[in-house]
């Protein structure tokens, strides 16, 4: 089983923690992680673009010129797609569906793979004493500085909602909070450092193993 040092809010080592194999020593499957990230990003996408087709463009429907005898091609009204100011053919309708699906087992495997890869890269930090932090931005900023993480993108993973940490981190742009059961592969891989507590690791082991 992998072991990791536990530090306090000042960055001092206060102990060691054994991490569960099934979560932090899982097989690292990079193609599966890439697939999970693609599915996550696709599901964030919404169809915003919308164009008018020839039936939606405002204007007269009068035939632009007579059918025969002009020497020109036959046309109906001037709002056909080939005319400037006409409707758009085959353009976005605003109803496109970009949603993708990934089986639950694959999602979980990708997430465990991401957590294991972060531990292998030494990007996981277990911190003790975060539950006692005052709900002040200044207090959390000082902790990040003491841990030498103030210039990095941080993902703080919690076992449950903690109002003091939510308020303390709210104004720190590079610190985001998530409960462990709302984690996904994209969030884990996007963070430069993953901050955990002992309670978070225990909650992960209880629910995921």
Domain region containing 61: 46-97
Considering the domain architecture, whether residues 138 and 55 belong to the same structural domain is answered as no
pTM for the model stands at 0.83
Residue 19, burial from CB neighbour count under 10 angstroms (0-12, 13-18, 19+): buried
- pLDDT at position 131 is 87
Distance (Å) of CA 110 to CA 32, 107, 113, 150, 192: 6, 5, 5, 28, 18
Q: Helix or strand or coil: residue 78? A: coil
Indicate the helix (H) or strand (E) that contains 125: strand 124-127
Q: How far is it, in rounded angstroms, from Cα 149 to Cα 188? A: 16
Residue 37 shares a structural domain with residue 56: no
Enumerate residue ranges in the chain where pLDDT < 50.
Answer: none
- What is the Cα–Cα distance from 192 to 101, expressed in whole angstroms? 27
Would you state the pLDDT for residue 150? 85
Residues 138 and 123 both lie in one domain: yes
- Same domain assignment for residues 24 and 115: yes
- The verdict on 73 and 165 lying in the same domain is no
Q: What is the pLDDT of residue 209?
A: 83
Total residues found in the chain within this entry:
209
């Amino acid at each position: 089983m992998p072991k990791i040092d536990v530090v306090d809010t000042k960055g001092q080592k206060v102990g060691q923690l054994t991490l569960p194999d099934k979560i932090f020593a899982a097989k690292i499957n990079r193609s599966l992680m890439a697939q999970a990230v693609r599915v996550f990003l696709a599901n964030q996408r919404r169809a915003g673009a919308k164009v008018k087709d020839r039936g939606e463009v405002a204007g007269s429907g009068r035939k632009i010129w007579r059918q025969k005898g002009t020497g020109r091609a036959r046309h109906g009204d001037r709002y056909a797609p080939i005319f400037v100011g006409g409707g758009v053919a085959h353009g976005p309708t605003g109803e496109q569906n970009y949603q993708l699906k990934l089986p639950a087992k694959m999602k979980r495997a990708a997430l465990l793979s991401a957590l294991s890869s972060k531990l292998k890269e030494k990007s996981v930090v277990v911190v003790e004493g975060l539950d006692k932090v005052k709900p002040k931005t200044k207090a959390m900023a000082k902790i990040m500085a003491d841990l030498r993480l103030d210039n990095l993108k941080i993902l703080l993973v919690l076992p449950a909602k903690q109002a003091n940490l939510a308020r303390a981190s709210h104004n720190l742009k590079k610190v985001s909070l998530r409960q462990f059961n709302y984690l996904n592969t994209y969030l884990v891989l996007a963070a430069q450092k993953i901050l955990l507590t002992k309670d978070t690791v225990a909650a992960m082991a209880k629910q995921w193993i």
